[in-house]
């Protein structure tokens, strides 16, 4: 009985293991666009926006998640700075051709965010 239970457990574990998805959260740096004519001599805390970028290595997709009140455009460039994918909105799932270093840029009104997918 113990052998049957052990074999059944091994089969269940081996079946569940391939179902795990190889996803990676990409750190995003958010910057405020500044006016060069304004002279601000004080430092402010970094801007924080609830934007999440997830790269799925199994399907070569990049998912951008953000609240509905944020508006922006998503640009994905390869290592040669060629435009690989574009979306005029956030909350999108983008397909890239292969795994490689990509730069993601998200541009909004008065801010932009950048990240690197290795």
Residue 111 pLDDT: 86
State how far the Cα of 76 lies from the Cα of 96, in Å rounded to an integer. Answer: 9
C-beta separation of 63 from 100 below 8 A: no
Q: Could you give the percent of the chain with pLDDT greater than 90?
A: 19
Element (H, E) at 16: helix 2-16
User: How far are the Cα atoms of 37, 95, 99, 105, 115 from residue 59, in angstroms, in the given order?
Assistant: 45, 8, 10, 21, 20
Q: Encode pLDDT of 8-39 as tens digits.
A: 777 776 766 555 567 777 778 777 776 666 65
Higher pLDDT, 7 or 45: 7
Strand partners, 24: 55
Q: Could you give the percent of the chain with pLDDT greater than 70?
A: 80
What domains can be seen in the chain, in order of their start residue?
22-35+46-117 (2.60.40.3080)
Enter the pTM of the model: 0.69
């Amino acid at each position: 009985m113990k052998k049957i239970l052990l074999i059944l457990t091994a089969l269940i574990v081996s079946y569940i293991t391939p179902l795990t998805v190889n996803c990676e959260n990409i750190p995003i740096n958010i910057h405020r666009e500044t006016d060069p004519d304004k002279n601000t001599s004080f430092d402010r805390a970094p801007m924080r926006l609830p934007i999440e970028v997830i790269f799925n290595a199994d399907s070569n997709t990049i998912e951008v998640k953000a609240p509905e009140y944020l508006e922006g455009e998503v640009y994905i460039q390869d290592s040669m700075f060629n435009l690989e994918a574009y979306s005029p909105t956030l909350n999108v799932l983008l397909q890239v051709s292969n795994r490689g270093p990509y730069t993601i840029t998200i541009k909004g009104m008065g801010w932009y965010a950048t990240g690197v997918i290795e």
